């Protein structure tokens, strides 16, 4: 397991324009670990999600996107998807559901782009990582920490693969039940 250290980028401060905002600590959010950036000049503070490109960070974003997308598909199907075609209004309602379910992602992305990256700083020994240290945490926090160590597309496709496997296994069990047990396997 790699140690999770704070984001090593430097960012532009929205308040005073200083280009050397750095993150020295991280904090756990609902499903992810975020970096706390502080401006050395005006002490302005902001909590930003992990970056979504690159090999690390942003796994939680990918997972949220996949879960939000699946939830939208299911709900829109239940609510108005019984006919063969979606009307324009139903398509708009579906899009609205998707935006609603995934709104935390858009907020995170919005926040990230409000603080443009200006460079990278050197890692120092005081960089704290124990907040996200997998050895010290319970299963939920371990999961969050693992999410934090992968990138967004891995998180996204991980969920899709897990759901596909789950549905596949459920279908297989149903088929075995129907074919070999005359639909009596579960009473
Ligand atoms: Zn500032």
* Cα 157 to averaged position of ligand 1 atoms, centre (Å): 38
Q: What is the mean pLDDT of the chain?
A: 82
The per-residue pLDDT for range 60-109, each reduced to its tens digit, is 888 888 999 999 988 888 888 766 677 888 889 889 999 999 998 888 88
Return the minimum-mean-pLDDT range out of 17-26, 105-114, 132-141: 132-141
Q: Convert 88-121 into a string of H (helix), E (strand) and C (coil).
A: HHHHHHHHHHHHHHCHHHHHHHHHHHHCCEEEEC
* Cα 118 to averaged position of ligand 1 atoms, centre (Å): 14
* Cα 65 to averaged position of ligand 1 atoms, centre (Å): 32
* Cα 21 to averaged position of ligand 1 atoms, centre (Å): 7
* Cα 38 to averaged position of ligand 1 atoms, centre (Å): 8
Residue recorded with tokens 């460079």: 119
Residue 64 near residue 166 (C-beta atoms within 8 A): no
What pLDDT shows up at residue 5? Answer: 63
pLDDT at 118 over 80: yes
Residue 151 near residue 53 (C-beta atoms within 8 A): yes
Helices within the chain (DSSP H only): 59-80, 88-101, 103-114, 139-149, 152-180
* Cα 120 to averaged position of ligand 1 atoms, centre (Å): 17
């Amino acid at each position: 397991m790699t140690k999770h250290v704070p984001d090593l980028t430097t960012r532009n401060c929205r308040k005073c324009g200083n280009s050397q905002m750095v993150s020295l600590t991280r904090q756990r959010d609902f499903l992810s670990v975020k970096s706390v950036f502080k401006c050395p000049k005006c002490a302005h503070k902001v909590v930003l999600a992990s970056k979504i490109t690159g090999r690390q960070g942003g796994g939680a974003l990918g997972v949220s996107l996949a879960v939000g997308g699946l939830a939208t598909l299911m709900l829109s199907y239940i609510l108005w998807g019984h006919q063969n075609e979606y009307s324009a209004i139903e398509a708009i309602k579906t899009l609205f559901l998707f935006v609603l379910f995934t709104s935390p992602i858009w907020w995170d992305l919005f926040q990230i782009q409000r603080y443009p990256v200006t460079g990278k700083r050197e890692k120092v020994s005081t960089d704290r990582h124990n907040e996200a240290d997998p050895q010290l945490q319970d299963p939920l926090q371990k999961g969050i920490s693992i999410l934090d160590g992968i990138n967004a597309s891995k998180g996204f496709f991980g969920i899709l693969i897990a759901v596909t496997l789950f549905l596949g296994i459920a279908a297989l069990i149903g088929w075995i039940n129907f074919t070999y047990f005359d639909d009596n396997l579960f009473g």
